Amino acid sequence: MVRVDSNIGQKPAKGKQSADNRAVRGLPRAYETSWKAPAGYNEVFKTPRRMSLVDNHSAFVKFRARLVALLIAFADGVSRIVHHKGYWHACSVLSWAVPKDLVVSVQIANDAKFQFFLADAYWNSLLGKFFVYEDDVARLLLSLSHVEYTFIDCGANFGYWSVLLSSGSFGNKRVIAVEAASANFKLLLRNREANENRFDALHAAVTDSDGEMVSLSSSKHHSAVSVSQHLGGETICSTTLDAIVRTNLTGFDGPLVIKLDIEGLEAAAMRSASGVLGRALFIYEDHGDDPSCQTTAAVLNELRLTVYYIDAIGLMPIRCVEECRQIKKKRTLGYNFLAISPTASLHREIDRFVLDRPSGGPNRHHGVEKIGKIPA
């Protein structure tokens, strides 16, 4: 049977943007200046985003698209002063000025192109030079670009992380992108083709069972599509992480980095990875609308993995569910965590980024000692 964490509600599209961690956790501003981005960070993320229209359009539509892109870039520059507060709302309003089916391509790295609908406020925020989507995850993965591993992108959506991780900037990783929703998968395939077919794409729903037909929720937004308990809607075949590795990585016994953004089924997916649990690093989301922290509770208490919160300045150890709950301050935001077996080889790579938590717990932010940082 497919397990569904039914208490976890659907997330609004804007909530998928990860929290500005310094603002949410109240860390001292001194950490902002002491943080050093990994090598290549500014080259990848702080250069102007070149946009082009994918299909043929009238001169008027092209003019509107260029104008919207310029206004989004302007909103990005203004809102960066306040950690991009209000930026998503500006992108959302500007989305109404262009056709819903207008696809654009944006250069998100030297050898990485990403296509999306310009009218989609979830992705058109990438047009801002100073806005970095899931910046905490970007810093972590860019810091591991020198490490050889295979990346499995579960809930890949249009393939943003698959495009980046298979690029030279992130070490040309072997990537398997998995997406359940057919509409999302079509654009995922377009992004694979636009990037020389350098990653694999699987059309399936990652759960704790293999080969079952499951239903998808009929969400209004592509970022909130999830496996549903209710019949009807689109149906798709399920798979497990063990099955993905067994089928697509025959003979491979190296480290894995598995990103899970599958709308409440993250714990179920990890339960299905018993064959690779000892060599995998999981990046998963525990959303602010779940005060019980069901995913992190399962990871800590059932799977017995080591958990870290991916903070703006490093990795914060999470030893119990209460520490996770105290970090999740806003119900509309997704919070990124890392889970790994103590025996995994990648554990040695991330040790240098781990922060020393004071004995007083997560509320004593000003007592956090920085013993590791992403190298320059």
Question: What's the pLDDT at 232?
Answer: 62
The domain in which residue 66 lies consists of 47-129
Residues 238 and 284 in one domain: yes
The last residue of one of the domains, among 129, 157, 192, is 129
When pLDDT is cut at 50, 70 and 90, the band that residue 28 belongs to is: very low
* pTM across the whole model: 0.84
Residues 168 and 256 in one domain: yes
The order of strands in the sheet holding 51-53 is 51-53, 103-109, 112-117
Please report, for the domain that includes residue 207, its CATH number: 3.40.50.150
Mean pLDDT rounded to a whole number for the chain: 83
Mean pLDDT of 145-157: 96
Residue 373 resides in a domain: no
Residues 315 and 290 in one domain: yes
Residue 372 resides in a domain: no
Contact predicate 142/170, CB 8 Å: yes
Residue 70 has pLDDT above 60, yes or no: yes
The last residue of one of the domains, among 129, 156, 191, is 129
Share of the chain above pLDDT 70, in %: 80
Residues 173 and 295 in one domain: yes
Radius of gyration of the chain, Cα coordinates, nearest whole angstrom: 20
pLDDT in tens, 8-20: 233 334 444 455 4
Residue 349 has pLDDT above 50, yes or no: yes
When pLDDT is cut at 50, 70 and 90, the band that residue 226 belongs to is: low
Higher per-residue confidence, 218 vs 112:
112
pLDDT in tens, 278-330: 999 999 999 998 999 999 999 999 999 999 999 878 899 999 999 999 999 88
When pLDDT is cut at 50, 70 and 90, the band that residue 95 belongs to is: very high
When pLDDT is cut at 50, 70 and 90, the band that residue 214 belongs to is: confident
Higher per-residue confidence, 8 vs 36:
36
Residues 209 and 157 in one domain: yes
Residue 370 has pLDDT above 60, yes or no: no
Mean pLDDT of 204-219: 83
What is the CA angle 40-43-46, rounded to 5? Answer: 120
Residues 119 and 143 in one domain: no
> Which of 43-52, 101-110, 131-140 has the lowest average pLDDT?
43-52
Label residues 75-113 b or e (16+ Cβ within 10 Å = b). bbeebeeeebeebbebbbebbeebeeebbbbbebbeebb
Q: At what angle do helices 87-95 and 59-79 cross, to 10 degrees?
A: 170
Mean pLDDT of 133-162: 94
